[in-house]
Amino acid sequence: MEYTGLSDSNPHPTAREQEIQPMERPRRPKARGADDNPPNRFHRHHRERVDDGWPGDGEPEPDPRTRLQREHSRSVITRNRSPDVPFDRSINPYRGCEHGCIYCYARPSHAWMNLSPGLDFETRLFCKPDAPQLLQRELARPGYRPAPVALGSNTDAYQRVEREQRITRRLLEVLDRYHHPVCIVTKSALIERDLDLLAPMAARGLARCAISLTTLDPALARVMEPRAANPARRLKTIRRLAEAGIPVTVLVAPVVPVLTDSELEALLTAARDAGAGSARMTILRLPREVAGLFGQWLHTHFPDRAGHVLNRIRDLHDGDPGDNRFGRRMTGSGVFADLIARRFELATRRLGLGDPEPLRHDLFRPPSPEETSGQLPLPGFQGP
């Protein structure tokens, strides 16, 4: 992996910085999901590259390098009230994701950084190096009540930059120290690095992992999820986690109609054979800018099926590909959605893939004031 050095992010760009946007690229960048940098929904102007005949205008641009910037936050735990997800709090050590999954629902969040949901989302990354200290401080608050915290719910906590930054590992060390439950969703084999932390936590009922598996076709995975682990490697990760005693859920997400829905039973069977004990599924939706990016990707890689795929996605979401209705956004609605749900139900029942066991929270021990302040008590001092 190659990326530039860390720099501090600027949350308040100047007017000139807001106006300047990279123009569309004349060729597809190597090992990236998006083709270019379309403007985000807050931009008033859209710039396009044109060939005006001058020498050099048609030359290909170099592939974009990954750039990483520091982001300083006041808190690290994000709360949600969504009935569609099995947790009410999450931690995201990174913004943006180098895996480059073209369908990623988190792409529109880069607009809040005045960046594009396209290539910027895959190459302009932000990290939170002080996240472990913030987490310890939040766990020490008097009113805090423990419940499973999800790592990597928005972008992958084990993407490539984690190899050097190790923020996710330091977060796990804090959660382990205070016996706090954690659930992890990832497409990366890098999670195996932290088996020494996750296995003892799982033995105490404090940890479980979900491996996202979209397709078993390595060629499709290569263009749809270009920098994520290939399907065979993810199955190996499921096996290694299960062998270490860590409960593993296979997350068939998203099911892409026409492209991957025929693999549903095969995906569940392969994951079960590798050691997964439970399964979940979501249907593809295309929020905000993701609709245009995914449509462009389809016409590039599957021009013969692009119209069929897009029409089926509309059918699944009552005509709105970005459907955000609770209770429908992840499952879809209509005849085809019911058919997929029924197939999933029958396959998981046959394979013995039930719901995951709940994690414990009764073992939680909050940090002491000395731990959060970084100061040790004076010898012999008992306090008032």
If you average pLDDT over residues 136-164, what whole number do you get? 93
If you average pLDDT over residues 149-154, what whole number do you get? 89
- Report the alpha-carbon distance of residue 80 to residue 95 in Å, rounded: 18
For residue 3, what are the CA distances in angstroms to 68, 91, 164, 215, 380?
A: 7, 23, 11, 28, 50
Asked if pLDDT for residue 12 goes beyond 50, the answer is: no
Model confidence, pTM: 0.84
Please write the tens of the pLDDT for every residue from 172-187: 999 999 999 999 999 9
- Report the alpha-carbon distance of residue 211 to residue 250 in Å, rounded: 5
Asked if pLDDT for residue 146 goes beyond 90, the answer is: yes
Of 82, 79, 78, nearest in space to 326 by CA = 82
Asked if pLDDT for residue 171 goes beyond 80, the answer is: yes
Rounded (5°) CA angle 244-250-253: 145
Of 115-129, 161-175, 370-384, the one with minimum mean pLDDT is 370-384
DSSP string across 145-211: ----EEESSSS-TTSTTHHHH-HHHHHHHHHHHTT--EEEEES-GGGGGGHHHHHHHHHTT-EEEEE
Q: Is 238 helix (H, G, I), strand (E, B) or coil?
A: helix
The pLDDT score that the predictor gives to residue 1 is: 45
Asked if pLDDT for residue 142 goes beyond 60, the answer is: yes
Asked if pLDDT for residue 377 goes beyond 50, the answer is: no
The pLDDT score that the predictor gives to residue 26 is: 46
If you average pLDDT over residues 88-110, what whole number do you get? 93
Q: Is 91 helix (H, G, I), strand (E, B) or coil?
A: strand
The pLDDT score that the predictor gives to residue 76 is: 92
Positive/negative CA dihedral, 348, 352, 354, 359: negative
Backbone angles phi, psi at 90, to 5 degrees: -150, 165
Asked if pLDDT for residue 379 goes beyond 70, the answer is: no
Asked if pLDDT for residue 203 goes beyond 70, the answer is: yes
The pLDDT score that the predictor gives to residue 267 is: 98
Q: What is the DSSP letter of 354?
A: B
Say how many residues make up the chain.
384
The pLDDT score that the predictor gives to residue 147 is: 94
- Report the alpha-carbon distance of residue 288 to residue 118 in Å, rounded: 12
Of 164, 188, 195, nearest in space to 97 by CA = 188
Go through 324-346 and write b for each residue having 16 or more CB atoms within 10 A of its CB, e for each that does not.
eeeebbbbbbeeebeebeebbee
The pLDDT score that the predictor gives to residue 384 is: 39
The pLDDT score that the predictor gives to residue 57 is: 52
Looking at the domain that runs over 64-358, which CATH code has it been given? 3.20.20.70
If you average pLDDT over residues 192-208, what whole number do you get? 97
- Report the alpha-carbon distance of residue 280 to residue 262 in Å, rounded: 16
Residues facing 212 on adjacent strands = 251
Mean pLDDT of the chain: 86
Share of the chain above pLDDT 90, in %: 65
Positive/negative CA dihedral, 24, 27, 31, 33: positive
Domain locations in the chain?
Answer: 64-358
Asked if pLDDT for residue 4 goes beyond 80, the answer is: no
The residues near 306 (Cβ < 8 Å, ≥ 6 apart) are 295, 298, 299
383 dihedral zone (left: phi>0; alpha: psi -120 to 50; beta) = left
The pLDDT score that the predictor gives to residue 17 is: 36
The pLDDT score that the predictor gives to residue 263 is: 97
If you average pLDDT over residues 35-46, what whole number do you get? 75
DSSP string across 272-335: HHHT--EEEEEE----TTHHHHHHHHHHHH-TTTHHHHHHHHHHHTTT-TT---TTTTTT--SH
If you average pLDDT over residues 110-123, what whole number do you get? 89
| Maximum pairwise Cα distance, the chain | 82
Share of the chain above pLDDT 70, in %: 84
Asked if pLDDT for residue 13 goes beyond 50, the answer is: no
If you average pLDDT over residues 129-139, what whole number do you get? 95
